[in-house]
Amino acid sequence: MPTVVPQFLRPRIGKVCVAIIGTTPAEMLEKASAVIKDTPFLEFRLDYLEKPLLALPKIKQFLADNTAVTAIATCRRTANGGKFDGAVAAQLDVLTKAAASGFQIADIEIESAEALKKGDLQKLRETGIALILSYHDFAGTKDLDATFARLQPFEPDFYKIVPTAKTLSDNVTLIRFLERMSDHTNIIGICMGDAGVISRVLGVRAGSAFTFAAASPGEETGPGQIASRTLLDTYRIDQVDTATKVYGVAGNPIRSSLSPIMMNTAFRRETVNAVYLALQATKLPDLLKLVHEIPIQGFSVTMPLKQEIMAHLEKTDPLSAKIGACNTVLRQEGKLYGFNTDVAGITGPLEKRLSLRGAKVLVLGAGGAARAAVFGVRDKGADVFILNRTPETAQKLARQSGSKTIKKEALPKTTFDVIINATPIGMAGQKGAQMLEAKDLNTKLVFDLVYNPLETPLLRLARQQNIPIITGIEMFVQQGARQFEIFTGKPAPEEEMLRVVIHALRQQAESTTEAAPAVKAKKKA
């Protein structure tokens, strides 16, 4: 039978449990000490240690010194996605000794529970420790009711059900399951994977007892896990409730997008009860299902969906209709309305520096962002040339916009007032050769719409030739500010949005620089 321990634990359990990893007890305890000021609910991943039993005395002392901490002992076996290569009996021994070391909760996977002899699990429970029985599916999201039925005979104190979101709709499956099981206040439900971010933020609102977070970026114990500071500060998970409106940014890839930190900062600054999520969307029908099911009140659209989304909108602003691409969608009374804020994000920064009337502009690319650039500067009277790796797409956009195409061979002997990169080349995480070389930059100004990293290869090339530049941050914040106003009807806190984006990019640059020597050392070893 379940123990009554969870009733005593309930007031000690927050919405976020931080997973602590480390290869030595000292490393683990250092990380735990840094986290407990903000989040005293911790999971010690004992399976990350070479000899977990030898670490328990030190952890016991730590727990005795920090009585506000509520600790989960997890020693996940390699067969079930962990790092512990011992037998099930050895795993049980670690968890039993963890109970004697001050841990209040033990997490054991269903496969281990089923493999144990009858009565072995009961001995663990007789220590007084509360039991989480967990199920992980690294392949997808299947019948969650059947999963619950499989766990139920063991009558654990907490049921932990963790499928993998292969699609955005898988989050809906999990959330609906949590809502159906609302009578059970002891179910933990999370979707793994990049597409599962939604469940990690909204799962608690739907009925999950709590969610798990990494101690810091790079220390994730499951695919798609979010750092605790991000969950608490950016997504404000403690404040997400049934009245919280949900927004997001949809595209592929979306992992490196800074839209969530920018928009959530703006929501917090303007005291808007809303949360803005990263929506990893590989297929548009999947995104649209999520939008209507959650429901999502509005979303930003990034590559490669800016043109494809047009066919699914009730109505668009004249700019989106003209360009044939939309980057902002508002949902009202179940219908979707489209807007384009990219154009203002491109023409605004340019007009601060030069008159576009009669200016000679080269646009790289022919996708959604390029269409916004081409139509935007053409409307201001610029003479536009388009260079794209697929000439047919460039020719089509040139015909539609009254522009011209140009071949790469012609660039060294052609001068421009502005070169605009509207391709993803140079973006963090993107691979591919640069379109332009130093000899091609015969221009007075270079504008790269890529905002991450701070200095793209194209901008670095321009700086080396003393050509003035416009970074993608200006465009990114400008278009985001207009989106915020469409979503909320409030003026956007542009300065705060700009500040947080620059800060995030600098932090990323610093962490990349710090990581580089370690990678080199590893290769030498």
- Token pair recorded at residue 254: 């979306």
Instruction: List, in order, residues 6 or more apart from 444 with CB less than 8 Å away.
Output: 354, 416, 417, 418, 467, 468
Comparing CA positions, the residue from 303, 440, 421, 309 lying closest to residue 370 is 421
Question: How far apart (Å, rounded) are the C-alpha atoms in residues 478 and 345?
Answer: 5
Residues 471, 448: contact at Cβ < 8 Å?
A: yes
Residues 176, 163: contact at Cβ < 8 Å?
A: no
User: What's the first-to-final CA gap in the chain, in angstroms?
Assistant: 53
- Token pair recorded at residue 415: 């001068």
Place of tokens 């309305």: 337
Question: How far apart (Å, rounded) are the C-alpha atoms in residues 49 and 57?
Answer: 14
Comparing CA positions, the residue from 212, 332, 328, 206 lying closest to residue 276 is 328
- Token pair recorded at residue 503: 């800060």
Distance of CA 512 to the CA centre of its chain: 18
Residues 292, 332: contact at Cβ < 8 Å?
A: no
Type and span of the H or E element at 357: none
Query: Using CB atoms within 10 A of its CB, is residue 410 exposed (0-12), middle (13-18) or buried (19+)?
Result: exposed
Catalytic residue among 142, 160, 306, 431: 306
Q: In the annotation, is 306 catalytic?
A: yes
Q: In what order do the strands lie in the sheet with 274-280?
A: 274-280, 245-251, 298-301, 328-332, 335-339, 315-316
The residues annotated as belonging to the active site are 306
